[in-house]
Structure 1
Amino acid sequence: MSAKTLTVQQRKSIFHALVDVQDARTVTIADSKKEIASRYHITKEQVELIEREGLAKDWPPLA
């Protein structure tokens, strides 16, 4: 799945899932990104881009 084909809502959902996994503190940050990439069939780099976008735009659950 290309990052360009993901809607804002999809990226927000992925960001939320990433925050949930990281907040659970059951895996490392790197492993959480791998888990989300696998779950959503995207690359780890796409997860990192979504993470940066979510942090920059203060997406929930951060808001």
Structure 2
Amino acid sequence: MTADETTDAPAADPRKDIFRAVVEAQDGGMTVAASRAAVAGQFGVSEAEVKDIEREGLAGGWPPL
């Protein structure tokens, strides 16, 4: 299978992965600001995007809540 071919597996939602990483970082003892900075760097997004995703995840009750 080439990189251009698709599979039957559903595509992962990177926003939910980012949200999970922020929650896990905070549960692990990181401050809110530090977790946002770390996750932004890990996923290659801005801290503002992480904040937006965090709000969306909290409002939607995304796991791991």
- Shorter-normalised TM-score: what interval? 0.7 to 0.9
Computing the radius of gyration from Cα coordinates, the structure with the larger value is 2
Q: Which of structure 1's runs of 4+ aligned residues deviate more than 3 A?
A: none
Structure 2 residue matching 1:59: 3-state secondary structure: coil
Return the alpha-carbon distance in structure 1 between the equivalents of residues 51 and 45 of structure 2: 11
Q: What are the ranges of 5 or more consecutive residues in structure 2 without an aligned counterpart? A: 1-10
Structure 2 residue matching 1:34: 3-state secondary structure: helix
Q: What are the ranges of 5 or more consecutive residues in structure 1 without an aligned counterpart? A: 1-6
Return the alpha-carbon distance in structure 2 between the equivalents of residues 61 and 12 of structure 1: 10
Return the alpha-carbon distance in structure 2 between the equivalents of residues 43 and 11 of structure 1: 12
- Is the alpha carbon distance of 1:20 and 1:32 closer, same or farther for their aligned partners in structure 2, counting shifts above 3 Å? same
Give % identity.
Answer: 44
2:13 is aligned to 9
Matches within 5 A, 1:1-63: 9-25=13-29, 27-62=30-65
Aligned-residue Cα RMSD (Å) equals 1.5
